[in-house]
Structures are given as structure tokens and as C-alpha cells.
Amino acid sequence: MKKLAGKTAVITGGNSGIGLATAQEFIAQGAQVIITGRNEKSVNEAVALLGDNAKGVIADSADVNQVKQLGDKVKAITENIDIIFVNAGVGQFNSADQMTEEMFDDIMNINFKGAYFSLQSLLPLVNDGGSVILNTSINAHVGMGGASVYAASKAALLSLGKNLSAELLSRRIRVNSVSPGPVVTPLHTSDKLGLTEEQLAGMGAGLIQQIPVGRFGRSEEIAKTVAFLASDDSTFILGAEIIADGGMATLKGA
């Protein structure tokens, strides 16, 4: 039997990268999937790619008013859900002396505030015994120049996972986190990271030096980890974190 047969999942930022790969894995495991995104065209394209078991909802995680309507928009598609993968996020990097208030707010509003209020809006729809997974990052654990605000947004999510899991015990809803190391996705483009091509190439080469397995991860590898946490194979795991980083933080010094 497929791991997620009969389950319905919402994946925020499901039109690209890790979110899209997770939507594909969830569907392969028997789930119905609702993906969210901020851009109608790319959400529609992803839904077309995913096929009949996928639906799309538009919600910009940076806009708390849109995020607060997420539950109602999902409810128009289905009364109840079983799984939430909070994945929408941006990676923007700048040193502390160059950080603008605008960039600070952008990162925090999307990665933490948007995630938080997405959960507030969606949790009433989650069936007892459901599973919530937060996509954090290895940056919550390692020190990296330029990453202070991004890392703080992910550390905040990690903390949220534990506290929310405690709050949701009576509903048997488990909250866990996955913390990827560098993964090949559209996030690693000069546009999204706000870097020049040269800076991007330098950053990539520098990161590979720090990954003991000698390569970036693949979205599918993270998707399978998320599917495990979403499934009943992980029913004794709550408030926990799985680090999937090719050894970047876990084998530090190896």
C-alpha cells in the first residue's frame, strides 16, 4: 500500500524546487496535493505538470492578509487535510553592515511570519493525527557570512516546530522539521539570491568544499525525507528535526 494513500496535503511554495519535488513524491505515494504559490502562471504550470491529483491556490506569503485567507481558499477545495508542508521561502544574503530594513523584513515576512500565519490559517482544517513538516535549513546550525537574517528566520521555524508540536498534542498532530543543506533548485540562481553569476559560482564552489559527500543534494532526496515525516512510518517522531545535508553540519570537521 502506498504510504500516503487517502491523505490530502497542502504544500506552500509547491510550484518549484523542493516543494514541487515533494508534491510529486506525495502524489506517487497516493496523496491528493494542494500547492500554493505567489505567481498564478507558475502555480498553474506546476498543477498541469502534477496532473489530476493536484490543485493550486494563490497566496503570497509576504502578505499576511493573503496568508490569513489560505484556510478559506483550501476549504473551498476540501473540508479537511492531513498534511501541511510549510516550504515557501526565500534565500537572501547580505552582511550585517549592508543589511537593509527592507531585506530584513522581506526574509522574515516570507520565511517566518508567512509560515506562522499560514499554519494558523490551515491548522483548523487538519484532521486529528495529521502531520506538519517545516522546511528549515542547515543555516539554523552553521555560522555563514551573509546568512545572519536567513539563518535566524530558519532557527525561528525550528523552534516553532517544537512548541507547536507540544500545543497540538491533544489533536495528535505531529510537527517536525527537515533541515536541508545546499540542494540544487531554482533558489540557487543569481536572480533569486541577488548575486552576480561570478559570486554565485564562487558560492557554489565554496559550499561543495564544505559538503563531505562532495555534491549538492537533490530535491527528490529532501522530498523522500518529508514523505517519511508526513507518513505513519514516523508516528513516534514529534518536535524533531531531520538534517539532510550530505554531512555538512553533522560531520563537521570530518
Ligand X SMILES: NC(=O)c1ccc[n+]([C@@H]2O[C@H](COP(=O)([O-])OP(=O)(O)OC[C@H]3O[C@@H](n4cnc5c(N)ncnc54)[C@H](OP(=O)(O)O)[C@@H]3O)[C@@H](O)[C@H]2O)c1
- As annotated, the active-site residues are 150
Residue 62 binds ligand X (CB under 6 A): yes
Instruction: Report CA-CA distances (Å) from 151 to 21, 111, 143, 180.
Output: 23, 10, 8, 12
Query: Given candidates 28, 99, 156, 187, which one binds ligand X under the rule CB under 6 A?
Result: 187
**Residues binding ligand X: what is the number (CB under 6 A)?**
28
Q: How many CB atoms lie within 10 A of CB 92?
A: 20
Q: Which is nearer to ligand X, 17 or 56 (CB)?
A: 17
| Beta carbon of residue 137, minimum distance to ligand X (angstroms, whole number) | 4
Q: Is 191 exposed, middle or buried (0-12, 13-18, 19+ CB in 10 A)?
A: exposed
Binding window for ligand X (CB under 6 A); candidates: 49-57, 163-171, 180-188, 228-236? 180-188
Q: Which is nearer to ligand X, 113 or 127 (CB)?
A: 113
The answer to whether the beta carbons of residues 24 and 50 sit under 8 Å apart is yes
Task: Give the span between the Cα atoms of 21 and 73, in whole angstroms.
Answer: 23
Residue 186 binds ligand X (CB under 6 A): yes
The answer to whether the beta carbons of residues 32 and 83 sit under 8 Å apart is no
| Beta carbon of residue 47, minimum distance to ligand X (angstroms, whole number) | 13
Residue 24 binds ligand X (CB under 6 A): no
Residue 132 binds ligand X (CB under 6 A): no
Q: Is the dihedral of CA 193, 199, 203, 204 positive or negative?
A: positive
Binding window for ligand X (CB under 6 A); candidates: 68-76, 94-102, 183-191, 235-243? 183-191
> Longest C-alpha distance within the chain, in Å?
54
Residue 88 binds ligand X (CB under 6 A): yes
| Beta carbon of residue 251, minimum distance to ligand X (angstroms, whole number) | 17
Residue 38 binds ligand X (CB under 6 A): yes
Which residue matches cell numbers 491556490?
A: 57
The answer to whether the beta carbons of residues 45 and 27 sit under 8 Å apart is no
Q: Which is nearer to ligand X, 120 or 235 (CB)?
A: 120
Contact residues for ligand X, defined by CB under 6 A: 13, 15-19, 37-39, 42, 60-62, 87-91, 110, 135, 137, 180, 182-183, 185-187, 192
